[in-house]
Amino acid sequence: MNLLANENFPRSAVEALRAAGHDVVWVRTDMTGADDEVLARAQVDGRVLLSFDKDFGELAFRAGLPATCGVVLFRFAPVSPEFVAERVVTTMAGSTPWVGHFAVVEETRIRLRPLP
């Protein structure tokens, strides 16, 4: 899967996703200093944006993010970088339809909302 990890994603999670076979662009190393360009990059590249930043929900709907990409917001306590890496890889390996949705991954559930 083509993913775009926001700059707040831990390196261990990015590396674990890559080791699991995902094509991951990481804002911290591949788009240094990009603030307003993150959603546009997800859109242009057809990537699913992964973030811990809850502002992306509002931005995705306000920008009319197309259904060719998606946003996954992780909302759980990051106990350690290793825990985050394991949880992210496990979550992304599931059968949830990430593309075309805004998803919120919580401790015990995943909420999906279609993008416009």
pLDDT digits (tens, 9 = 90+) for 19-78: 999 999 999 887 766 666 888 888 888 899 999 888 777 777 776 666 678 899 999 988
CA distances, 48 to each of 6, 78, 79, 85 (Å): 10, 20, 24, 17
Count of structural domains within the chain: 1
Pairing of strands 101-106, 110-114: antiparallel
- The distance between the two most distant Cα atoms of the chain, rounded to a whole number of Å, is 34
pLDDT digits (tens, 9 = 90+) for 79-113: 888 999 999 999 999 888 999 888 999 989 999 99
CATH code (residue 10): 3.40.50
Per-residue burial over 67-85, b if 16 or more Cβ lie within 10 Å, else e, is eebbbbbbeeeeeeeeebb
Which pLDDT does position 17 carry in this prediction? 97
Task: Show the domain range for 95.
Answer: 2-114
Can you tell me the distance from the alpha carbon of 69 to that of 42, in angstroms, rounded to the nearest whole number? 6
What phi, psi does 78 have (nearest 5°)? -80, 85
Residue whose tokens read 């509002």: 58
